[in-house]
């Protein structure tokens, strides 16, 4: 397909973080862009502010006439939208070209030097750090990010087309549409078992992704993963290795042992060993592309972060409020490690919204074990996203598994009140559903109360 022949791009599921980045891209190119989404959010409001028409009813009559010519209109859809969706069915039955987001990314990036970040955890932060590093060394690049970078205040950056940065999403095997020059695999923990059925099948998919590298391409892998590549790790025998970790005023100061040299006194400001690994992965990708390692090391110190990735909402002497996207037991463990390292001996209250019935079912025991580590747990109902309910799998079911006497199932409408009545040093909100929309309300209420 030749994108140059397209004048109109319509998105089914335009409000998703990855879809909205593509919508920005096509709008920037001067194309006519519009779309549907299930829910109005700050992201859809921002798209509307760019002149992109967005509606929230699955209604073919809401699609403007400009997007009903199959010869010059491309339809992009997210796998989260069921094929019974009436707008999807309209476009399919009328001969339109319908492509998944991953297929579009493959088309856009195939002629650039493509950096692709894969892994069940860490994709968004790693790709945002990489985009920041490349921006700081003036690389002409386009970045499609799976979160809002606090450096760019956006999930999309266009400063040239020589290089591209994308997240290689394993969901629905989307990452097999890409052909990267340099790829990274941060993790391969079991997830999306509704798609893969088993961790073994997930591993096979990552192996297939590794085979998608362009000729002469390079693969960066976290040390210990069962895939061959250039390794990175912390205080081990990796090709890229972090050593001599110190913390001063909430900032990591480390040495980077890399194939060519040792860089001393490198600073990085985001808490958590998992974020140190994300930073090292991004550094290794940029270094293997030939950019100055000394310039990249300096740039690490100025990375601001990603919204909803261990994001400080309130940071006072007596109280701290952190928001995080963690929605898998391994990610919850990483948040626990980070908060303990940066705020030792503090009482921590976590508010968690489980994401997907299938994930809650598959990892119920692991979720319970991870959540039990915190001093107090407030549990919200499961956020269904694209799924129908599964009999017997509820937030109450998960709550019973949590071995912590300080636990409670609450309704979202009572969330602020429950938090205000709790006594804690640190509040953490976690989850990949709509809990993020509650964060401004919580922050405002707590600030007002103080």
Same domain, 13 and 95: yes
Q: Are residues 128 and 211 in the same domain?
A: yes
Count CB-CB contacts under 10 A for residue 93: 8
Q: Which residues contact 218 (CB under 8 A, 6 or more apart)?
A: 181, 182, 183, 229, 230, 288
Q: Is 27 within the bounds of a domain?
A: yes
Asked if residue 124 and residue 92 are part of one domain, the reply reads no
- Comparing CA positions, the residue from 103, 134, 131 lying closest to residue 117 is 131
In whole angstroms, what is the distance from residue 447 CA to residue 441 CA? Answer: 10
Q: Is 350:430 a contact under the CB 8 Å cutoff?
A: yes
How are strands ordered across the β-sheet holding 311-315?
Answer: 311-315, 320-324, 426-430, 348-352, 376-379, 407-409
DSSP result, 156-225: EEES-SSEEEEEE--GGGGGGG---SEEEE-------HHHHSSHHHHHHHHHHHHTTPPTT-EEEEETTS
Per-residue pLDDT at 241: 98
Is 182 part of a structural domain of the chain? yes
Low-confidence ranges of the chain (pLDDT < 50): none
Alpha carbons 155 and 267: distance in angstroms, whole number: 24
CATH of the domain at 74: 3.40.50.720
Do 291 and 399 share a structural domain?
no
**Within the chain, how many helices (H) and strands (E) appear?**
15, 21
Q: What angle do CA 438, 440, 445 make, to 5 degrees?
A: 95
Q: Tens digit of pLDDT for each residue in 98-139?
A: 998 888 999 999 899 999 999 988 999 999 999 999 999 999
306 in a domain, yes or no? no
Give residue 138's pLDDT.
Answer: 97
| Residues 296 and 147 grouped into a single domain | yes
Rounded Cα distance between 412 and 353, Å, is 9
230 with 376, same domain: the answer is: no
Q: What is the largest CA-CA distance in the chain?
A: 63
- The pLDDT value recorded for residue 168 is 86
Does the CA dihedral 321-324-326-330 come out positive or negative?
Answer: negative
261 with 343, same domain: the answer is: no
Q: Which of 300, 324, 353 is the last residue of a domain?
A: 300
Alpha-carbon distance of 162 to 178, in angstroms, equals: 16
Neighbours of 16 (CB within 10 A): 22
pLDDT of 79 reads: 80
Q: What pTM value is reported for the model? A: 0.87
The pLDDT of residue 311 is: 93
Q: Does 67 fall in a domain?
A: yes
In a domain, 305, yes or no: no
**Are residues 281 and 317 part of one domain?**
no
Q: Determine how β-strand 163-168 pairs with β-strand 113-118.
A: parallel
The whole-angstrom separation of Cα 159 and Cα 139 is 8
Domain finish residue from 281, 300, 319:
300
* Helix/strand/coil percent split, the chain, to 5: 35, 25, 35
Whether 117 contacts 167, CB under 8 Å: yes
Is-contact 298 414, C-beta < 8 A?
Answer: no
Parent domain of 245? 110-300
What are the φ and ψ backbone dihedral angles of 86, each rounded to 5 degrees? -65, -35
Residue by residue, DSSP assigns 332-386 as: HHHHHHHHHHHSTT--EEEEE--B-HHHHHHTHHHHHHHHTTSSEEEEPPPB-TT
105 domain residue, yes or no: no
Segment 294-346, tens digit of pLDDT: 999 999 999 999 998 999 999 988 899 999 999 999 999 999 999 999 999 99
Same domain, 212 and 90: no
Angle formed at CA 130 by CA 124 and CA 131, multiple of 5 degrees: 90
For residue 320, being part of any structural domain is answered with: yes
Contact present, 449 and 442 (Cβ < 8 Å): no
Do 304 and 131 form a contact (C-beta atoms < 8 A)? Answer: no
- Which CATH number fits the domain that encloses residue 421? 3.90.190.20
For residue range 255-290, list pLDDT tens digits in order: 999 999 999 999 999 999 999 999 999 999 999 999
In order of 101, 253, 324, 440, the CA distances from 47 in angstroms are 17, 39, 24, 20
Given 255, 276, 300, which residue is the final one in a domain? 300
Residue 175 belongs to some domain of the structure: yes
Regarding whether 315 and 291 lie in a shared domain, the answer is no
Is 435 found in the same domain as 386? yes
Q: Are residues 269 and 171 in the same domain?
A: yes
Number of independent structural domains in the chain: 3
């Amino acid at each position: 397909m030749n994108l140059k022949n397209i004048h109109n791009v319509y998105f089914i599921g335009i409000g998703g973080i990855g879809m909205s980045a593509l919508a920005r891209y096509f709008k920037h190119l001067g194309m006519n862009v519009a779309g549907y989404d299930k829910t109005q959010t700050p992201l859809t409001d921002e798209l509307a502010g760019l002149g992109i028409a967005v509606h929230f009813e699955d209604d073919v009559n809401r699609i403007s006439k400009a997007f009903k010519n199959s010869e010059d209109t491309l339809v992009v859809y997210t796998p989260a939208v069921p094929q019974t969706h009436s707008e999807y069915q309209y476009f399919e039955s009328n001969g339109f070209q319908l492509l998944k987001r991953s297929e579009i990314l493959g088309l856009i990036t195939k002629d650039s030097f493509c950096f692709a970040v894969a892994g069940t955890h860490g994709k968004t932060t790693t790709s945002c750090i990489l985009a920041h590093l490349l921006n700081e060394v003036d690389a002409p690049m386009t970045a499609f990010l799976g979160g809002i970078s606090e450096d760019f205040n956006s999930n999309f950056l266009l400063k040239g087309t020589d290089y591209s940065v994308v997240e290689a999403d394993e969901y629905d095997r989307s990452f097999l549409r890409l052909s990267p020059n340099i790829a990274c695999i941060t993790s391969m923990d079991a997830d999306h078992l509704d798609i893969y059925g088993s961790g073994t099948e997930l591993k096979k998919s990552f192996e297939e992704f590794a085979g998608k590298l362009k000729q002469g391409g390079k693969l960066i892998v976290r040390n210990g993963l069962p895939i061959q590549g250039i390794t990175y790790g912390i205080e081990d025998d990796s090709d890229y290795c972090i050593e001599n970790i110190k913390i001063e005023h909430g900032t990591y100061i480390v040495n980077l042992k890399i194939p060519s040299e040792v860089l001393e006194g490198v600073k990085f400001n985001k808490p958590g060993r998992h974020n140190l690994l994300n930073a090292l992965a991004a550094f290794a990708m940029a270094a293997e592309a030939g950019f100055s390692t000394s310039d990249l090391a300096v740039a690490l110190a100025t990375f601001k972060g990603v919204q909803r990735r261990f994001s400080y909402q309130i940071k006072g002497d007596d109280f701290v409020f952190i928001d995080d996207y963690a929605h898998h037991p391994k990610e919850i463990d990483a948040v626990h490690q980070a908060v303990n390292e940066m705020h030792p001996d503090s009482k921590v209250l976590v508010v968690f919204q489980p994401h997907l019935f299938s994930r809650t079912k598959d990892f119920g025991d692991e979720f319970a074990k991870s959540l039990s580590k915190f001093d107090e747990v407030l549990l919200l109902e499961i956020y269904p996203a694209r799924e129908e309910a599964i009999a017997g799998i509820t937030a109450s079911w998960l709550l019973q598994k949590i071995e912590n006497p300080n636990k409670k199932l609450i309704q979202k409408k009572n969330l602020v009140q429950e938090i205000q009545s709790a006594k804690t040093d640190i509040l953490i909100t976690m989850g990949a559903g709509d809990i993020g929309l509650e964060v401004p309300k919580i922050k405002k209420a707590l600030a007002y109360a103080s």
